[in-house]
Amino acid sequence: MEKLGLKCVVWLAPEEPNQGFLDFIDDQEIDFHHLGVMETVNASDPITEDTILEAFELVLNKKNHPMAIMCNIGRHRTGTAVGCLRKLQGWNLASIFEEYQRYAAPKVRIHNEQFIELFDTDLVTIPEDPPSWLYRTFAGLKNTPST
């Protein structure tokens, strides 16, 4: 992980990461954002729309790159956030679900797929100068700069 040169970690799990990881982040001077702390009592509860929107404020800010989006296991919360990001990029649902299922297997959660399907991309605020990877497949959303 040290070779990635991360500037930012977005942590989506309600629980704290282990102390070794926190020490590494501190040693590397990586900005750490612990989202969704108060949203749930049960670690298996789905991620909330507010957490996704808060995460996207960080993800779409180029000053935070390179970054990692993580949770305690990396399947469900991370998978749901990435699925919503794929939807924002204009991916079709079949491709989004195939990617989610590939990484969440063998414990795919249908409520995560439903969350992704129902996620309203119009709620996302796109910055004036978003990361270039967003526009590679992102033709139809508002705020797309005209060229």
For the residues of 29-44, what is the DSSP string, one character each? T-EEEE-SSSS-SSTT
Closest CA to 85 of 68, 62, 60: 60
Is 84 a catalytic site residue?
Answer: no
Angle at the Cα of 102 from the Cα atoms of 22 and 78, rounded to 5 degrees: 30
- The residue from 47, 60, 69, 71 that is catalytic is 71
Structure tokens at 85: 């990001």
- DSSP type of residue 16: P
User: So which residues are the catalytic ones?
Assistant: 71
